[in-house]
Amino acid sequence: MILHEKISGVLPAWRERIKNLVKDHAEVVVDTVTVEEVLYGMRDIKSLLTDISSVDPNEGIRFRGLTINETLKALPKAKGGKLPMVGGLYYLLLVGEIPTKEEALAVEQEWAKRATVPDYVYKMLKSMPKDTHPMILFSQATLALGNESVFAKRYQEGMKKDVYWEAALEDSLNLTAKLPVIAAFIYRMKYFGETSKPKYNAKLDFGANFARMMKVSDKKGYADLARLYFIIHSDHESGNASAHAMHLAGSTLSDAFFAFSASLNALAGPLHGLANQESLAWLLDVKKRFNGVPSREDLYKFAWDTLNGGKVIPGYGHGILRVIDPRFITQLEFAKKNFPDDDLLKLAELTLDVVPAVLKEQGKAKSPAPNVDAISGTLQHYYGVREFDFYTVLFGVGRALGVSANYVWSRALGMPIERPKSLTTKMLEDAVAKQS
């Protein structure tokens, strides 16, 4: 299998680099820890290693060194579409090189071979109460797939540490192949009462398959939106909650299914991935209240009412970004190109004009700029996916690509169990007293 071959090729030199860092430079200081950082979500402490992506606070994401625009330009395009194959992105994340068309297609073919979801997963999903949140269903299905984990089985058989990554890669390919099928099944079952199993078509790529299985391709272009969506949501370095949750669970040698379920459980919070559902709900509330796109003044007042009600304005602010999220800009450009006259798009643009000003006036948020979630729902809404409590599942399908690539590399580089040290309040006060 091509990914296995390619990673095997680059791995020895990478292991050597890590070995040398530990052997010769173990005591070099990379960062210091302040009281604020201990008390404030460990925000800026540099303490995680990843080569899959990195985020500069003033620029945004780079996948293996490439900005979003460079990534979209460099990756081979899907047949019949304007955007790249998701398989090419997975190759880039895992291998660190831009794939040829054949290499991207080889990943797509691996997925097609592995896309069958076991019957017991469908049965389990069908047995849940109808009002279950889609993220609960999605996380449960992911966890259930662990029954087939290659890693767990080989570990029990005494697998050697230096080949953990091979089993991790097998599990990651099996997991990522099945996620679009499970997500589409949850969508059709929950909102349309359909319980037939979606069929993956080996002649189509990941994005086109997803569009077909969701059955929302009434407007042309949903396959391209799916490709764009999964690519830009794939990774955001290692410290965000969903990536970190997967890394932490995986560091105990939990298999990729356990670890990804943990990742989804972190993504499901309103301060993280669930903000995409909240953000569209907020825009729709505005539209309903003012019977369409309001005036700037009305929107300004509405935004202040949200803040005065003790709520956050979803889709705005960020843990580390200090500029407009480039993932927001990419989606805005896609929307302006494909449906410039949409009312919700106009409202999202007006919000971009008003909300940062309101947040600045309030003076609390470190960044008043929009993040990825401020507009992703607007795009889904246009193409007919209007059941907004489903949106975080879409985020999860994309996020699986990055966090599973990290999971494979963490096993390949022999990353140990993660275990930071905690302090009591008294210890912290003592540390302060000692230095004052």
State the catalytic residues.
272, 318, 373
Please give the radius of gyration of the chain, using alpha carbons only, rounded to the nearest integer: 22
* Ranges of H-type helices in 220-342: 222-232, 241-251, 256-267, 275-290, 296-308, 326-338
Contact 212, 218 (CB under 8 A): no
User: SS3 breakdown of the chain: % helix, strand, coil, rounded to 5?
Assistant: 65, 5, 35
Point out which span in 29-37, 337-345, 370-378, 420-428 binds ligand NMX (CB under 6 A): 370-378
In the numeric block, which tokens belong to residue 217? 């391709």
Strands 53-56 and 60-63: antiparallel
The binder of 317, among ligand NMX, ligand MLT, none, by C-beta within 5 to 8 A per type, is: ligand NMX
| 236 counts as binding ligand MLT under rule CB under 6 A | yes
Point out which span in 123-131, 190-198, 207-215, 305-313 binds ligand NMX (CB under 6 A): 305-313
| 234 counts as binding ligand MLT under rule CB under 6 A | no
- Alpha-carbon distances, residue 150 vs 15, 164, 167, 170, 402 (angstroms): 23, 10, 6, 7, 20
Candidates 145, 347, 372, 397; binder of ligand MLT (CB under 6 A) is 372
Q: Indicate the residue among 254 and 367 with the shorter CB distance to ligand NMX.
A: 367
| 319 counts as binding ligand NMX under rule CB under 6 A | yes
The binder of 227, among ligand NMX, ligand MLT, none, by C-beta within 5 to 8 A per type, is: none
Candidates 364, 427, 429, 432; binder of ligand NMX (CB under 6 A) is 364
Contact 90, 405 (CB under 8 A): yes
Candidates 319, 356, 396, 398; binder of ligand MLT (CB under 6 A) is 319
Candidates 140, 172, 261, 371; binder of ligand MLT (CB under 6 A) is 371
Contact 160, 130 (CB under 8 A): no
Q: At what angle do helices 164-192 and 2-25 cross, to 10 degrees?
A: 120
Which residues lie near ligand MLT (CB under 6 A)? 236, 240, 242, 319, 371-372
Which residues lie near ligand NMX (CB under 6 A)? 271-273, 275, 307, 312-319, 359, 364-367, 371-373
